[in-house]
Structures are given as structure tokens and as C-alpha cells.
Structure 1
Amino acid sequence: MTQHTAARSQPDMIEFEARVATLRQTHPDSRIQSFEFAGHKYWLKQPERLAGAMKLLKDDPRRALQTEIQVLTGLAGKGAPVPRVMLSGDDFFVVEDAGKTVSSWLHASKSDSSVPFMDVLNDSAKALADLHALGLSHGRPALRDIGWQQGNVKFIDFEAAQQSRPLRYQQQRDLLVYLHSLYRYMGTEHAQIDAAIASYRRSGGEQNWLETQQRMRRWQWLRPLLKPLRNIGGKDLKPVYWVLWHFQRHR
């Protein structure tokens, strides 16, 4: 088996590889396993164990794992803010921890006023604009797929299904998914949501925001129909009204 490692000092890497090997031996059926090493947190990911009909319904787990490795290393090579792949092989890889997700920071802020949630939120919006400035897209930048720690943002779980579409379409979809996620998790906290979108716009996302607004004009006829559901619809339905409202309200 060929292993690829990120740049670290060799003595550390020998110990690191030994730790990972031990984890793989003691947790052979664990798809995702977190662990600490030298004061840092990492995640070991192994192929999903499929059984029965799922073997027919899902892609080959090893191939899916290799695709994920290729996506992460390729994005890192382009300067994208993604977790670094520390170690990888035919049937596993290890990435550095990306920090708590933005949705987790939001949950924590509800019981702890010292949590810098607006910093987290604005940093996530700026990072999305920076990703787009690199000529890249995420596919599903929901708050649960964006990590933050000490001011550093990392995107996780890139969605490859949209990569065949034109880049402008992908980036507009990114913005819509992100805005939908803001309303899904935050409800009608308009001031905070507006601040996050303002951070995206002034960080290089203005043109994409304007093009997305233009795209949404053809769907504004749905807004009156959705208005009765804006506070009582499901978690995925309610935000649709507010996304349309956002683009209609801002000129």
C-alpha cells in the first residue's frame, strides 16, 4: 500500500503513522474516528461498510474514499480553505480537524454570550467569497459544512454533483444554499443575516450576489404563495420564502 503524507517532521510522522495504524486495528469497522495527537485533533476516515441491498444502491466505498482524497488534495493545491490531508492510503485517510461547525457555534452562542458568533458568521461568509474568487465552488455550503476555529475557516463535505454545471451557476447555487442555511438555522435574525451577506458582498462576492438576485426575480411570483408558510412551514420550506424576501428587499 502506498501512503501519502503531508509535510511534517519525520520523527513526528513516524509516531503519527503508528498511532493511525493502531486506531485502524482497534476500530476496523469505524467509518469516522477522531483522535488527539501532539495537542491537535484529527479525523480518521475509512470506507463505509455496506451490507445487503446497500451494496447495489451505493457507490463502491473505497472508490468514494479515493474520490474524496483527490477532491481535498486538489482543492488544497488551489489554495482553497479545506482540512489538510495528513495521511492517506488505499482504504483510509486522515485529515486535520476543521473546528466546530458554524451551526455548532450558533447553538453554543444561545447559552454562552461569550461565544463570538458574529465573528464566526462573518468569517464564514468572507471565506465563501474567497473560495469563489479562486474560481471554485462548494456545492453545499450549509452552516453544518463550514468549520471555524480561532478565526480560521475550513470547508468540509464538498458536493461534486454540480461540477458539470457552469461555474457561475455553481457559485450562484452556493450563495443560495448558504443564505437558505442562514434562515434555516437562524430564523428571522435579519440583522445578523444581513451582516453576514454584507461580509460576502464586500469580500468580492458583489457581482455574484447581483447575478443571483437577477436570477431570483423570475421566482418572486412564489413569494406570495409561500408567505402563509413563512413561520409554520418545515425547516426546508420556511427559508425559501425568506431567501426570496431577501433578494426582493435589497435593491
Structure 2
Amino acid sequence: MSAGRIERTVVSGQPGWVKRAEHVGLRLRLQKGDPRRLFETERRAYLSLQDAHLPFPKVLASGPDHFVLADAGPTVRSLLRAAGPQDPGVRAALVAAAEALARLHGAGYSHGRPNLCDICWQDGRITFIDLEKYRVTQNTRSGHIRDLLIFFFDLCAETGAVDAAVLAARDAYCRQDAQGIWAGAVQRMRLLRPVLALIGVLTRPLRHKRDFRALAPLVALFCDPR
């Protein structure tokens, strides 16, 4: 039996996850790009960030066809789906994730795609994983704004509304936002609002789908602040 792409492992007594290049067919290769190139990009990203004192996992081992990351606990998305947004533990994880993202931006770095499934929470610590989309060229104000919108899009897709958990995450980000990234996201969303409104009308029959139900609360969060 061939080894899986992502598997649990232990390195020198420390639990971790081994990741290998994905093997995909032509359709996914055209959609996602060369999996070997994406794997190597991510491996180099983790290695380059090891000494930056940022919330990324420790690389326990690395080779030409694999790397092993220290286990960082469950993802925030899994916690949210298991217990719901009103659970105090989940609320604490969302607040911590938003604060960590703001601090990451304050340090001059962008994640690239900070979905809730790419953020882990363990022992009061947030860790960002899955750096396939990390690029040094995105460590800019524009990249930070994109990160912020992706994070809250994913959160709104889970909640389907601007609820107390979403507002708590917003407030947590803003408390750490010394660069005005939130204001930049508001400006960008207001420019996009007519287009997003049209998309909302055209996709109304699909609002039960996860991503489409995020549109209305995302626009409300950034364009109609409470």
C-alpha cells in the first residue's frame, strides 16, 4: 500500500504530520497547477519562516519528497462545526485566530489563504498551516487585506450571518490592527459592493450552498458596520 499524502507520524517522540506531493489527474492539475511545484513551494515557505518567530508549525523533518510538521491541534473550523459559534471555547479560538492574523500582518507577513481549516488551536495557541498559497510578494498591504477578507468570508460561510462570534472576531482583529488593514478592506468591499450585490441576486437559488451563503453577511460586515 502506498503512503498517503498526509499522515500522522512521530519524530523523536514528538507527534507530527508528514506531507507529500499530491498525485492528481489532468483535470485537477489544470485547476490547481503542478502539484510537485506547489509542494516544493510550501516546503520552502515553512523552512524560510522557521526563524521568524511567527505562529507557524515547527518543521520536524524535511526531504526532497516530504516534510513533517509538528502537530498543532485541531483546526478552528473543526471546533466550530463540532460545538457551534456560541460555545465559549470556540469563541476564544476565533478571537485568538483573528488576533494572531492581525499580529501576522503587523509583522509584515500574509498567509495567502487563511481559511479556518488552515488555523489550528491548541493549549491557548494559534498556529497557521497550509502554506501552498504563501508568497513573499504577497507580504504587502494588499496581501493583508486579501487575507482578512478570506478569513471572514470563510467564517461567514460557516455562520451564515453576522452573529456575535463574527463580531467578536472582528473586534479582536481591529484591536491589533495598527496599520489600518480593516479600513482598507472596508474600502475594497465598498468598491465591490455593486458587483457582489448582482452576484447575490443571480445566485439566490444557491444560498443554501456554503460559499454563496457567505456573500450577504460578508458585505454587511464590511459595508454596514455595527
Give the structure 2 partner of residue 125 of structure 1. 98
Give the structure 1 partner of residue 180 of structure 2. 207
**Of 203, 207, 215, which residue of structure 2 is paired with 1:240?**
215
Give the structure 2 partner of residue 88 of structure 1. 62
Displacement after TM superposition at 1:232 (Å): 2.9
> How many percent of aligned residue pairs carry the same amino acid?
32
Give the 3-state SS of the residue equivalent to 2:49 in structure 1. helix
Task: Find the aligned partners of 1:157 and 1:137 in 2 and give their Cα distance.
Answer: 13
Give the structure 2 partner of residue 105 of structure 1. 79
| Counterparts in 2 of 1:32 and 1:137: CA distance versus 1, 3 Å | same
Give the structure 1 partner of residue 49 of structure 2. 75
Task: Find the aligned partners of 1:161 and 1:88 in 2 and give their Cα distance.
Answer: 18
**Of 147, 157, 167, which residue of structure 2 is paired with 1:174?**
147
Task: Find the aligned partners of 1:56 and 1:104 in 2 and give their Cα distance.
Answer: 28
| Residues 158-167 or 193-202, more deviating | 158-167
**How high is the TM-score relative to the length of structure 2?**
0.84
Task: Find the aligned partners of 2:85 and 2:102 in 1 and give their Cα distance.
Answer: 30
Superposed CA RMSD: 3.0
**Structure 1 gap segments, 5+ residues each:** 1-26
| Counterparts in 2 of 1:184 and 1:68: CA distance versus 1, 3 Å | same
Query: Is the counterpart of residue 229 in structure 1 residue 204 in structure 2?
Result: yes
**How high is the TM-score relative to the length of structure 1?**
0.76
Task: Find the aligned partners of 1:162 and 1:67 in 2 and give their Cα distance.
Answer: 9
| Counterparts in 2 of 1:32 and 1:165: CA distance versus 1, 3 Å | closer
